[in-house]
C-alpha cells in the first residue's frame, strides 16, 4: 500500500508540473499554442528578455555631466557670485568722487540809503536799484580714507558784476578759490583695520559661499558615484541571472535526453522546466532593477525632462576596484581637518566674529577727530589775473582743531561688544563640534572600507565553495545519485553567493567614495578645481 501511495503521489506531482509547464508559458496566448511542443514554450519565455542597444558611460564622464547640469550647483554658484559683488560694494565706499557744478544768479535789490562806492542819494520817493550778476563754476574732489578720515579738494571761480557806476576796484571782478579740508578720527574709527572691517567680512562671506559650492560639488559627485556603482551592481546581477538561466537550460536539455533514453523519470524534466521558468522571472526582475538605476543616474546627469523619458540602456564602462590600499588613520584625519569645507567654513565664521568683535571694541572709544583746512584766493579783472594771484599764495586762510564727543554711559556700544564676544565663543564651539564630527566620519568611513574589503574575500570563498558543491551535485545527478530539485537548489545557492560577492565588491567601491567625500579628497581624485 505504501508503494501504491508513493506511485499515486508521484503521478499527481507529474500531472501538476506538466500542467504548469503547459499553461503558464501560454497564459494570455491563443489556444493553438497550448498544443505546441516544450521547446516552443521555452522559446516564448525567452522573448520576454529584452535585447539591448546601449550607450556606454565612464564614471568620470558621468561626474562631469552632473557637475555641468546640476541645478543645486548652479544656484550655489550664483549665490557665491552675488556675495562677490558685496566685496566690490564695500570697497567702493573708498572710491573718490568728482563734482562739477555751475550756477548763475542775478539780484536786483532796492536801496534805502547810500552804499559805499555809489555817488549820493537818489532823489524822489523811489529807492535806487542794486543790480548784481554772479556766475560761478566749481570743481570738487572728495574721498574717504582707509584711516577713517575724509578730505575734499575744491576749486571754484566766479564772475561778479554790478550795473551802473561803482567805486569797486574791479567791475566786473573775477575771483578764484582753492580749498582743502580734512577730517580724521583719532580714537574711534581710526586705522585701516577698523575701516576695512566690512570689506573683510564680505570677503569671508564670499569664501564661505565658495566653500558651500565646493561642498555641493562633493555631494553631487558622491551621489553620482553611488548611483553609478548601483547600476554596475544591477548590470552584473543581471549577468548572473542570465548565467543561472543558461545553467537551468542546460540541465533541462540534459534531463530531456535522459528521459528520451529511458534512464530518468519524466518528473525530473518537468522540475528542470519549472526551474527555467523561475530563472526567467529573476531575469525580468533584474532587468527592471537595471532600468530603475539607469533612470536614477539620468536624473543626476541632467535636469531635462526629455532626458528622463529616454529608454536607451546605459552600460557603465569602469570596472569596480577589488584591491586594498593602505589607509593611515591619523594622516587621513589630518587631511580631512585641513580640507573639509565645513571645517573651513567654521574657521571663516570665527574670523568674521573676531573681526567684528575688534570693531565693536573700537566703538567703545570716545570720538576724537581732527578737523582742519587750508585755502587760497585770487581776484582780478579777468580770469588770468585772478589765477595768477591765486598761485602767488598772497591771499590764504588756514585753521584746524579737535572735536571730542562721547555718549554718557555708552550702553549701546557696550552691549554690542558683549554680543560680539558671545558670538565668537559660539563660533569656536561650533568649530570644535565640526572637528569632532569629522574625526568620527573618517574613522567610520575607514572601518566601512575595511569591512567591505573583508566581505569581498569572504564572499569570494563562499562563491567558490558553492561552485564546487554545484559541480559535485551535478556529477551525482549524472550518476543517478541526486535529483533535479537538489541541483536547482544548488544553482540558486550559487546565484545567491555570486550576488553577495558582487554586493560586497560594489559596497567596497561605494565605501571608497564615501571616504573621499568625508576627507574632501574627491576633487583631487578627479583633478577638478572649483575656481
Per-residue pLDDT in tens (0 to 9) along the chain, 531 residues: 434 444 444 344 343 333 333 333 333 333 333 333 444 555 555 555 555 577 888 999 999 998 888 888 888 888 888 888 989 999 999 999 999 999 999 998 887 765 555 444 445 567 777 889 999 999 999 999 999 999 999 999 999 998 876 677 888 899 999 999 999 999 999 999 999 999 999 999 999 999 999 999 999 999 999 999 999 999 998 988 888 888 888 877 877 887 888 777 888 788 878 888 888 888 999 999 999 999 999 988 887 778 778 888 888 998 998 888 888 999 999 999 999 999 999 999 999 999 999 999 999 999 999 999 999 999 988 988 889 988 888 899 999 999 999 888 889 999 999 999 999 999 999 999 999 999 999 999 999 999 999 999 999 899 889 888 888 887 887 777 877 778 888 888 888 888 889 999 999 999 999 999 999 999 999 998 887
- d(C-alpha 141, C-alpha 389), whole Å: 22
442 in the same domain as 417? yes
Q: How many domains does the chain have?
A: 2
Residue 374 β-bridge partners = 180, 398
Three cell numbers written together for 467: 561552485
Q: Are residues 384 and 511 both part of a single domain?
A: no
State the DSSP code for 51. P
Cβ within 8 Å of residue 39, ≥6 positions away: none
The CATH code of the domain that includes 263 is: 1.20.1600.10
| Rounded Cα distance, 140 and 160, in Å | 21
Cα(214)–Cα(517) distance, integer angstroms: 11
Same-domain pairing of 431 and 458: yes
Query: How, if at all, do strands 173-185 and 314-316 pair?
Result: unpaired
The pLDDT score that the predictor gives to residue 26 is 34
**Domain stops at, among 383, 405, 427:** 405
Q: With contact defined as beta carbons under 8 Å apart, do 519 and 449 qualify?
A: no
Distance in angstroms (rounded) separating the CA atoms of residues 430 and 189: 30
Q: Per the domain annotation, does 261 fall within a domain?
A: yes
Domain encompassing residue 308: 65-95+202-366+412-531
Q: Do 266 and 259 contact (CB within 8 A), yes or no?
A: yes
pLDDT value at position 80? 86
375 & 352 share domain? no
Is 22 contained in some domain? no
Statement to judge: residues 163 and 223 lie in one domain: no
Per the domain annotation, does 439 fall within a domain?
A: yes
* Phi, psi dihedral angles at 398 (to 5 degrees): -155, 155
Same domain for 134 and 210, yes or no, is no
Percentage helix, strand, coil for the chain under 3-state DSSP, each rounded to 5: 60, 15, 20
Burial of residue 51 (number of CB atoms within 10 Å: 0-12, 13-18, 19+):
exposed
Residue 218: inside a domain: yes
Cβ atoms 275, 245 nearer than 8 A = no
HSE, CB side, 13 Å, CA atoms: give it for residue 240: 24
The residue out of 375, 405, 435 marking a domain boundary is 405
Residue 404 to residues 187, 359, 366, Cα–Cα distance (Å)? 10, 20, 7
Residue 63: count other Cβ atoms within 10 Å of its Cβ.
Answer: 24
pLDDT at res. 19: 39
Say which residue the cell 579740508 belongs to: 181
| 377 and 449 assigned to the same domain | no
Cβ burial of 64 (10 Å; 0-12, 13-18, 19+) is: middle
Q: How far apart are CA 297 and CA 314, in angstroms?
A: 9
* β-strand partners of 368: 404
- Evaluate whether residue 425 is within a structural domain: yes
Taking Cα atoms as reference points, which of 489, 488, 480, 484 lies closest to residue 13? 484
In-domain check, residue 109: no
C-alpha cell at 355: 573681526
> Quick one: 520 and 486 in the same domain?
yes
Q: Are the CB atoms for 273 and 44 separated by under 8 Å?
A: no
Distances (CA, A) of 444 to 209, 377, 441: 28, 79, 5
Task: Answer yes or no: do 445 and 341 share one domain.
Answer: yes
Give Rg (Cα) of the chain.
46
DSSP string, 396-465: EEEEEEEEEE--SS-HHHHHHHHHHHHHHHHHHHHHHHHHHHHHHHHHHHHHHHHHHHHHHHHHHHHHHH
Question: Which DSSP state fits 267?
Answer: H
pLDDT of residue 72: 81
264 SS3 class: coil
Q: Do residues 502 and 474 make contact, with C-beta atoms less than 8 angstroms apart?
A: no
Is residue 162 in some structural domain? yes
Secondary structure, 3-state, 306-351 = HHHCCCCCEEECCCCCCCCCCCCHHHHHHHHHHHCHHHHHHHHHHH
Cβ proximity of 368 and 402 under 8 Å: yes
What are the cell numbers at 1?
Answer: 500500500
Answer yes or no: is 510 within a domain.
yes
Burial 354-374 (b: 16+ CB within 10 A, else e): bbbbebbebbebebbbeeeee
Q: What's the pLDDT score for residue 326?
A: 85
Nearest-angstrom CA–CA distance, 274 and 272: 5
The answer to whether the CB of 343 falls within 8 A of the CB of 434 is yes
Predicted pLDDT of residue 42: 52
One domain, residues 69 and 211: yes
Burial class (CB in 10 A: 0-12, 13-18, 19+), 510: buried
Does 512 lie in the same domain as 437? yes
Q: Are residues 416 and 492 in the same domain?
A: yes
Out of 354, 382, 405, a domain closes at 405
- Cα→Cα distances 282→32, 138, 202, 273, 465, Å: 28, 90, 59, 15, 23
Do 375 and 179 form a contact (C-beta atoms < 8 A)?
Answer: yes
Amino acid at each position: 500500500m505504501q508503494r501504491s501511495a508513493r506511485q499515486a503521489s508521484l503521478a499527481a506531482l507529474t500531472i501538476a508540473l506538466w500542467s504548469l509547464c503547459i499553461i503558464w508559458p501560454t497564459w494570455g496566448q491563443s489556444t493553438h499554442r497550448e498544443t505546441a511542443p516544450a521547446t516552443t514554450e521555452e522559446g516564448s519565455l525567452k522573448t520576454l528578455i529584452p535585447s539591448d542597444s546601449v550607450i556606454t558611460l565612464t564614471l568620470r564622464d558621468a561626474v562631469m555631466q552632473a557637475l555641468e547640469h546640476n541645478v543645486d550647483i548652479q544656484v550655489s554658484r550664483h549665490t557665491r557670485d552675488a556675495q562677490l559683488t558685496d566685496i566690490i560694494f564695500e570697497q567702493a565706499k573708498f572710491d573718490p568722487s568728482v563734482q562739477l557744478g555751475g550756477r548763475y544768479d542775478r539780484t536786483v535789490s532796492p536801496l534805502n540809503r547810500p552804499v559805499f562806492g555809489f555817488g549820493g542819494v537818489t532823489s524822489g520817493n523811489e529807492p535806487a536799484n542794486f543790480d548784481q550778476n554772479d556766475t560761478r563754476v566749481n570743481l570738487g574732489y572728495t574721498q574717504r580714507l582707509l584711516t577713517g578720515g575724509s578730505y575734499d579738494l575744491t576749486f571754484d571761480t566766479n564772475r561778479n558784476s554790478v550795473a551802473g557806476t561803482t567805486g569797486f576796484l574791479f567791475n566786473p571782478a573775477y575771483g578764484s578759490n582753492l580749498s582743502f579740508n580734512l577730517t580724521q578720527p583719532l580714537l574711534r574709527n581710526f586705522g585701516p583695520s577698523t575701516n576695512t572691517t566690512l570689506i573683510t567680512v564680505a570677503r569671508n562671506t564670499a569664501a564661505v559661499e565658495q566653500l558651500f559650492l565646493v561642498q555641493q560639488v562633493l555631494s553631487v559627485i558622491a551621489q553620482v558615484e553611488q548611483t553609478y556603482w548601483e547600476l554596475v551592481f544591477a548590470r552584473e546581477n543581471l549577468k548572473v541571472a542570465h548565467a543561472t538561466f543558461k545553467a537551468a537550460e542546460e540541465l533541462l536539455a540534459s534531463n530531456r535526453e535522459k528521459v528520451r533514453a529511458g534512464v530518468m523519470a519524466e518528473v525530473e524534466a518537468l522540475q528542470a522546466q519549472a526551474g527555467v521558468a523561475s530563472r526567467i522571472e529573476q531575469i525580468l526582475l533584474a532587468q527592471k532593477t537595471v532600468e530603475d538605476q539607469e533612470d536614477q543616474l539620468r536624473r543626476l546627469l541632467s535636469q531635462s525632462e526629455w532626458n528622463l523619458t529616454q529608454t536607451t540602456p546605459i552600460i557603465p564602462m569602469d570596472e569596480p576596484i577589488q584591491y586594498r590600499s593602505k589607509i593611515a588613520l591619523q594622516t587621513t584625519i589630518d587631511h580631512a581637518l585641513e580640507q573639509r569645507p565645513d571645517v573651513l567654513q567654521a574657521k571663516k565664521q570665527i574670523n568674521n566674529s573676531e573681526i567684528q568683535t575688534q570693531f565693536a571694541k573700537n566703538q567703545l572709544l570716545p570720538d576724537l577727530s581732527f578737523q582742519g583746512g587750508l585755502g587760497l584766493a585770487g581776484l582780478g579783472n579777468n580770469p588770468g589775473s585772478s589765477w595768477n594771484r591765486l598761485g602767488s599764495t598772497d591771499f590764504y586762510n588756514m585753521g584746524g582743531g579737535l572735536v571730542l564727543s562721547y555718549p554718557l554711559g555708552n550702553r549701546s556700544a557696550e552691549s554690542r561688544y558683549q554680543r560680539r564676544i558671545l558670538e565668537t565663543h559660539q563660533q569656536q564651539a561650533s568649530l570644535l563640534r565640526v572637528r569632532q564630527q569629522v574625526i568620527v566620519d573618517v574613522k567610520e568611513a575607514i572601518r566601512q572600507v575595511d569591512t567591505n574589503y573583508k566581505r569581498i574575500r569572504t564572499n569570494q570563498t563562499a562563491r567558490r565553495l558553492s561552485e564546487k558543491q554545484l559541480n559535485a551535485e551535478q556529477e551525482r545527478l549524472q550518476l543517478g545519485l541526486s535529483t533535479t530539485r537538489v541541483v536547482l537548489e544548488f544553482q540558486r545557492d550559487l546565484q545567491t553567493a555570486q550576488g553577495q560577492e558582487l554586493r560586497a565588491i560594489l559596497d567596497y567601491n561605494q565605501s571608497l567614495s564615501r571616504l573621499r567625500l568625508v576627507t574632501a579628497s574627491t576633487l583631487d581624485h578627479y583633478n577638478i578645481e572649483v575656481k
